[in-house]
Amino acid sequence: MEYRSTRGSGQGLDAAEAILTGLAPDGGLFVPKKCPKIDLEALLGKDYVEVALAVLQAFLPDYSKTFLKEALQSSYGAHFEGKAGYLTALSSQLYSLELWHGPTAAFKDYALQLMPKLLVEARRMLGRQDTTLILVATSGDTGKAALEGFKDMPGTAIAVFYPNQGVSEIQKLQMTTQEGENVAVFAIEGNFDDAQRGVKKAFGDRELADTLERRGVRLSSANSINWGRLVPQVVYYVTSYLQLCRKGVLRFGELLDFCVPTGNFGDIMAGWYAKQMGLPVGRLVCASNQNNVLTEFFKTGHYNANRPFYKTSSPSMDILVSSNLERLLFHASGDDEAVRGWMKELAEKGQYEVGKEVLANIQGTFSAGYADEETVGEEIRRVYEAYGYLCDPHTAVAFRVLHEGGALPRPTVVLSTASPYKFCEKVLEALGQQVPADPFEAIGLLEKTAKGQAPKSLTSLQGKAPRFTQTLPADEIAKAPLRLFPA
Ligand SMILES: *Cc1c(COP(=O)(O)O)cnc(C)c1O
């Protein structure tokens, strides 16, 4: 199984090299040269870890089966409370794939529980002796999921930078109380963009890299463009399909649609790979919030990031440049020269346009829609009243897009990417409740209102003492690694 860059270089790498390298030297993303097929019908009776093993062995054949099996068990067994790939029915046609039963109550746990183990094993296989220091700028969810994934992983350390304006009280507590010997968390003065700019600057800082190298440290990222983050997400598309076959909703071979709340295009791209593996996927519906650059792209072939940026109640989807789309552009065109051209135009002019053939190819699988910010609260309430089902603002965007599309042509799975208890304020407001100022009171009120139970990983934060209380100006982010690894 060989990997290559979407922009032409790095031909013939194996999976471990692609995962350890992250971004290709030419700025492209690693993709498999040829998508493997697997016998999905043979997996019908299998549990989550067994299905995951089959999918991962197909994409990562250079990793040993023993290693993968252990890594999958420790990632998705007890940590997900037996709810890895949990699917619940809203109607006979509509299903919610609850991806937030992991240790940090975010769908990113699927990728970030496994990816650090793939990285550490890649280091071992390739004989790396230095320490890999992961730097993460976060608007909330990624930081915590990455901390939990890299906690005490041998040969690695992680530093997370969150904006002191912009993450919720709960998200802040999740990060500042993080346990582990190899972790550090810093508040950054400013917003997410300031934090991200600071981290990007640290990555581009030659002098910092040289100093760290002398100290035996190499910087890396846990960004969603890493192949090791994308591939774990293919699994739950497959398990959803198999579950619906077992329930008799589908006969093997019948098509299933998926609707995915999308930001950086990693999650929905995993669905595309599942389809290439042979999974009978009908449509992949790309749901955006008010930052609807992808909706326009899928309708017209014109990607235009020159537009206002909206801060919404679904912050993980507030993105104007969806990095993983580059993978789809490459597969749909098969032309790395064209990809280089589009990405150059995007960098220089903030926009590009693909030709008719590429667009038609993409439209063969993808549809797109978006939900305005005003309709999100309304949708949380509608879904609750229609189905007795509580959903968070990200998931509500997906439900809205489906709802506006009219009757479902076939069974459809909505990927539910965050626990509603992580976004209590918005959800309570949508249900017409007064929102208490204290975040734990808000969780309690939502539990009472919806007769549900919040994830323990959230309620157990109450009263926990923060370990990390430092605030840095954004332009001092580069100093943090030097402090963590003094001369
Ligand atoms: C990251 C995230 C998304 C978007 O996923 P992409 O892979 O970036 O498209 C959607 N919802 C939530 C809650 C997320 O954390």
Look at residue 10 and tell me whether its pLDDT is greater than 80: no
Which numbered atom of ligand 1 lies nearest the CA of 422? 13
Give pLDDT tens digits for 316-337. 999 899 999 999 999 999 999 9
For residue 11, the model assigns a pLDDT of 78
For residue 76, the model assigns a pLDDT of 96
What average pLDDT does this structure show over 37-42?
94
Look at residue 165 and tell me whether its pLDDT is greater than 90: no
For residue 222, the model assigns a pLDDT of 86
227: confidence class by pLDDT, cuts 50, 70, 90: very high
Calpha distance 353→342 (Å, rounded): 7
Residues 111, 269: contact at Cβ < 8 Å? no
Give pLDDT tens digits for 399-454. 999 999 999 999 999 999 999 999 999 999 999 999 999 999 999 999 999 999 99
Calpha distance 230→98 (Å, rounded): 18
167: confidence class by pLDDT, cuts 50, 70, 90: confident
Residues 56, 121: contact at Cβ < 8 Å? no
Q: What is the mean pLDDT of the chain?
A: 95
Look at residue 9 and tell me whether its pLDDT is greater than 90: no
Residue to substitute in 29, 96, 107 for testing ligand 1 pocket (most ligand atoms within 8 angstroms of CB): 107
For residue 242, the model assigns a pLDDT of 98
Q: Report the pocket of ligand 1 as residue ranges, CB < 6 Å.
A: 106-108, 141, 224, 261-267, 316-317, 394, 417-418
For residue 115, the model assigns a pLDDT of 97
Catalytic residue, chosen from 37, 46, 69, 108, is: 108
Q: How far is the CA of 487 from the centre of ligand 1 (A)?
A: 38
For residue 79, the model assigns a pLDDT of 83
For residue 339, the model assigns a pLDDT of 98
For residue 221, the model assigns a pLDDT of 86
108 counts as catalytic: yes
For residue 144, the model assigns a pLDDT of 94
Which numbered atom of ligand 1 lies nearest the CA of 267? 7
- Joined together, the tokens standing for residue 2 give 């060989």
CA 394 from centroid of its chain's CA atoms: 12
For residue 200, the model assigns a pLDDT of 86
Look at residue 78 and tell me whether its pLDDT is greater than 90: no
State percent of the chain over pLDDT 90.
87
292: confidence class by pLDDT, cuts 50, 70, 90: very high
Nearest C-alpha neighbor of 331 from the set 304, 300, 366? 366
Q: Tell me, what DSSP letter sits at residue 238?
A: H
For residue 223, the model assigns a pLDDT of 83
Look at residue 192 and tell me whether its pLDDT is greater than 90: no
For residue 468, the model assigns a pLDDT of 96
Look at residue 88 and tell me whether its pLDDT is greater than 80: yes
Give pLDDT tens digits for 408-417. 999 999 999 9
Nearest C-alpha neighbor of 52 from the set 35, 37, 71? 71
Calpha distance 370→291 (Å, rounded): 8
Half-sphere exposure at residue 86, Cβ-oriented, CA atoms within 13 angstroms: 16
Does pTM top 0.85 for this prediction?
yes
Which numbered atom of ligand 1 lies nearest the CA of 233? 7
State percent of the chain over pLDDT 70.
100
Look at residue 70 and tell me whether its pLDDT is greater than 90: yes
